[in-house]
Amino acid sequence: MKTTRTILILLIVILLGCAKDNDTLDNSTKNLTIFFVNDVHGQIDNFPKVKHIIDAERELTNVIVAASGDMFSGNPVVDNHPEKGYPLIDIMNQIGFDVSVLGNHDFDYGTSVLKDRISQSDFDWICANVNMENSGVPQVNAHTTIFVGDLKVTLLGLVETGGKPGAVIPSTHPWKVQDLTFERANNVVSNYTNTKETEESDLFIALSHLGYNGYDGALGDVQLAEQNYFFDMIIGGHNHLLIDEVVNNIPIFQSGGYLNYLGKIELTVKNKSIQNINFELIEFKNYSEFDTELQATIDNYNDLPYLKEVIGYSHQYHEKYQVGCFYTDATRLQMNVDVTFQNTGGVRSALDEGDITIREIYEIEPFNNGTVIYEMTVEEIKNFLIGTGSGFYYSGLIIRKIGDNIQINDLQNREIPDDYLLSVGINDYIPAVHNLYFPDNGQIQTLSAAETLIEYLKNNKNEINYSNCNQYFRY
């Protein structure tokens, strides 16, 4: 009798164990739709369409809404709001975003503003390679796990750190992130090899703002997939590209930039792996329906008459490189200096033909960078151009590369001696990134770079016409 009872107990234990194993190995097929945007840069006008699309999908299946970074910087309605960036947070909250990774331009407003925007967000901000330290900004988590229906999805955030030679910071104004510490993404990713197992998640996704392809040893999404088998998917940003690729059996996606598209990923998941996947780019110019309540909110944000003030006239449509010629000429003349330089990445928009409004200038220069004047010798300017290896728009000089040397002439094409002193007007992002090449005693100006351009246009009655210009140099 005792033997029989023992056998029965053993059978019960075995059966319970088998039942437990069957619970762990979930053979059911689960459906999920992930919507995502990247590199929105403050462009809010298409968000009522986003909300209409997502609300309709939520009626049908499980939905996650994600952002792959760079939500801020690029629209004066958002950037110049009394609470910088708040309109975007308000809109994302109303749509029901679940998560965003911190992109490099999400640091553009500085730490005190970032602190407020994070505290106002009803969604999670994530980033595995930033330490907020004593900045006052709440420390964001490396990853977040979202429960949706009967699915658990974990997303890990990563941001690029190629912002300054010799430093480990994102591509933002270095003075805005002085109180933060960053690590290279490739130094931290291995810490999360077992995260899917420890979180008991169905999916483990990299929500990346690394850029599609790294260079000079940097980690991009391609390298992230090649070196880390444990991700089920990578949703990326930073390059403003349309990406739908598979690397090392890991799907990689990007949805362009400036909210021209919405990324839609439809998945079926079984036994903690993706069985089927379908990617669609929803192009908003082909979509007419929208959420009326959110549209009213955005109309209210956009109702800023001062941005519509006409301050000049453009003879033609100007490409970015032509805007670079206008930009440097205007700042040189308005700042009353001998020479100006402008980094190419600081010219963010083209210029349409016709009336020029204040809004257009803030779209060209959305970063609210300050301006500064330095006294520099021609030799110091040459060292700057050679040492940085970067390309710049410029005005006030003629600059040529002759062999391995640089020759600098005045506008009458007379060569200027190396020891000759020139006044250099520049936005303060450039000396912050390339501080080794600038004196410590620059004269900080009262106007920002955008305000300098606006004042120039208000005082200049001539049409802006740069149909032929060649004011770019890279050593």
pLDDT value for 92: 98
- Radius of gyration, alpha carbons of the chain: 26
Is 90 exceeded by the pLDDT of residue 239?
Answer: yes
CATH code reported for the domain at 27-302: 3.60.21.10
Pairing of strands 339-343, 391-395: antiparallel
CATH class, 306-474 region: alpha beta
Q: Could you give the count of Cα atoms lying within 13 Å of 465 in the half-sphere of its Cβ?
A: 4
Is 50 exceeded by the pLDDT of residue 23?
Answer: no
Average pLDDT for 259-288: 97
Q: How does pLDDT run across 307-324, given as a tens digit for each residue?
A: 999 999 999 999 999 999
Report CA torsion sign: 378, 383, 384, 390: positive
Is 50 exceeded by the pLDDT of residue 20?
Answer: no
- Domain positions in the chain are 27-302, 306-474
Q: How does pLDDT run across 77-125, given as a tens digit for each residue?
A: 999 999 999 999 999 999 999 999 999 999 999 999 999 999 999 999 9
Distance between CA atoms of 66 and 102, rounded to whole angstroms? 12
Average pLDDT for 127-147: 96
pLDDT band for position 26 (cuts 50, 70, 90): low
In Å, how far from its chain's centre is CA 270? 33
CB proximity list for 179: less than 8 A, separation 6 or greater:
111, 132, 133, 134, 135, 136
Q: How does pLDDT run across 28-86, given as a tens digit for each residue?
A: 999 999 999 999 999 999 999 999 999 999 999 999 999 999 999 999 999 999 999 99
Percent of the chain with pLDDT over 90: 92
Q: What angle do CA 368, 372, 377 make, to 5 degrees?
A: 145
CB proximity list for 1: less than 8 A, separation 6 or greater:
none
pLDDT value for 3: 35
CA distances from 464 to 96, 279, 454 (A): 43, 43, 13
**Structural contact between residues 258 and 78, judged by C-beta atoms closer than 8 angstroms:** no
Distance between CA atoms of 170 and 72, rounded to whole angstroms? 14
